[in-house]
Amino acid sequence: MIYFCYIASLIVYAIDPYISIKVLCQTFEKKSSNLRYYIGSGIGLYILVLIKQIVAFQNVPAIINMIFFPVLILYLICFCILLLKNKLWSKLFVIGLLFILSTVMDFLTVGSWLLFTNVPLEDMTNFGVINCLMTINARFLGLLIYKLIFIKYKDTGKNYIAIFKELLPVVLCNLILEIPVMALFNNMQLINYKISTLYGIMFGQIVIVLCVSIYMIMIHLKKQRNAMQMVLKMQQMEIELSSYQSIAETTRQVRQIRHDMKSHLFLTRSYIEKGELEMAIDYINNLYTIIQEADTTFCLDNLLLAAILSEKGKLAKTQSIRFDIRITVNNFQIEDRDLNCMLSNILDNAVEAQQFVPLEQRYIDLEMYHFSNRISISCENSMSKKPSFNTLGKLVSTKSEGFGEHGLGIDIIREIARKYHGFCTIDYTDTRFTIKVVYPIGEMRGDWNETDYTYC
């Protein structure tokens, strides 16, 4: 039986080195195309793990066991620096997660064996059948998590590393606190094999890490929210500038037409009086073309809304998109910049979705109406396929700016809706996408309850 333990241990001790090298190589870009470097690095890590385990079973002083933990981390750091690209902090983040995963699997295994079996703790920490079975349990549990999580999200994981940069101190804190716990676990004689003492130390570690984690996550979320607000303000300013330019252009066109109308009528009458009817008809046709080009200028009491719809109407026309609008409300009771930003994002997304739709099937239906002290803004557009969502459940844009911009327009629309105690819903099929914003106005805004309405 002891030979079985030796053989099984030699095999399962290779799992952690395999996972570590595999995850790092798939997460970061390799510096070399020579696989021998990476295979050799994995073998070197495997040898270090074997030496660590052999020393742990020799009842050596705890300080020696503690040395191996940072040695393994240092080995992986050197491997990343020499053979992998990307920034050092991102490599430290992944290395920390790998060691935390390994340690958590060990603790879960020990805890489950203590809970469901009557095996003495001393038998668990000394080399033998029990220790071998527990090692197999822990390592294969880690391998299962690797297969279920990392393999599934390896493509998006590269992008998320940049998002969680602020959480690196949490990972490092975990690593530092794990060193004494691992030393005690491999030298239980230091606490006279008292399970309660080990649990107390582990509980203290969990409390400390939990407090640090909550604090860092709060900082991270606050930073993300501030960044979102900054992007929102910048986009609002850009849209306002574009709208003001559109208003100026619309005003110029109206003034130009009014200024030239007298001359147009005089010249047309002159052709008719001279009997040059063909010349008059040609002139009227040319004049009609000019008026038709300005046909996308909307005449509404709300000048800002008219400017937005005129600008987006011209954009839709250039892409052969049928643009239908039904408006039965004039006062939206929200700030002009918020109305501007919300409508511009809604219509920009609607136009963007038409890229691969056949010309004859392209359309945008915008409806804005008032009902029961509420304002509803609904936009339906055609599209070529169902929208995509990332692992956070956010809509992924078809634009190519990069990961950080994905779904940003929808987030901004939702942010504005929440600002006015409303909500934003999305509904879609293979060929249709609908976004709807509803918010209360007047006295309803104070006691609005969005749960009264069903989300699409």
Each residue's pLDDT tens digit, 220-256: 777 777 777 777 677 667 766 766 666 666 667 666 7
CA distances from 105 to 47, 94, 144, 150 (A): 21, 17, 11, 16
Q: What is the pLDDT of residues 177-205, one digit of tens each?
A: 666 666 666 566 666 656 666 667 666 76
Confidence of residue 434 (pLDDT cuts 50, 70, 90): very high
Work out the percent of the chain whose per-residue pLDDT is above 70. 68
275: left (phi over 0), alpha (psi -120 to 50) or beta: left
Query: Contact, 106 vs 185, CB < 8 A?
Result: yes
* β-strand pairing of 388-389 with 432-440: unpaired
The strand pairing partners of 368, in sequence order, are: 327, 377
Mean pLDDT value across the chain: 76
* Comparison of pLDDT for 279 and 175, the residue scoring more: 279
Query: Contact, 239 vs 340, CB < 8 A?
Result: yes
Residue with tokens 């029990």: 130
Rounded Cα distance between 175 and 70, Å, is 9
Per DSSP, the three-state class of 451 is: helix
Query: Contact, 366 vs 378, CB < 8 A?
Result: yes
Query: Contact, 70 vs 180, CB < 8 A?
Result: no
Amino acid letter, residue 292 = Q
Confidence of residue 406 (pLDDT cuts 50, 70, 90): very low
Nearest Cα to 378, choosing from 362, 391, 367, 364?
Answer: 367
Q: Give the side-chain half-sphere CA count within 13 A for 204.
A: 10
Residue with tokens 């599209």: 383
Residue with tokens 């297969």: 147
Query: Which pLDDT does position 139 carry in this prediction?
Result: 85
Query: Among 42-46, 91-95, 147-151, which stretch is predicted with the lowest mean pLDDT?
Result: 147-151
Query: Contact, 411 vs 230, CB < 8 A?
Result: no
How many C-beta atoms surround the C-beta of residue 86 within 10 A?
16
The strand pairing partners of 324, in sequence order, are: 365
Residue with tokens 């309850």: 449
Nearest Cα to 186, choosing from 354, 90, 281, 59?
Answer: 59
Q: Give CA 299 to chain center in angstroms.
A: 40
What's the DSSP call for residue 384?
Answer: S
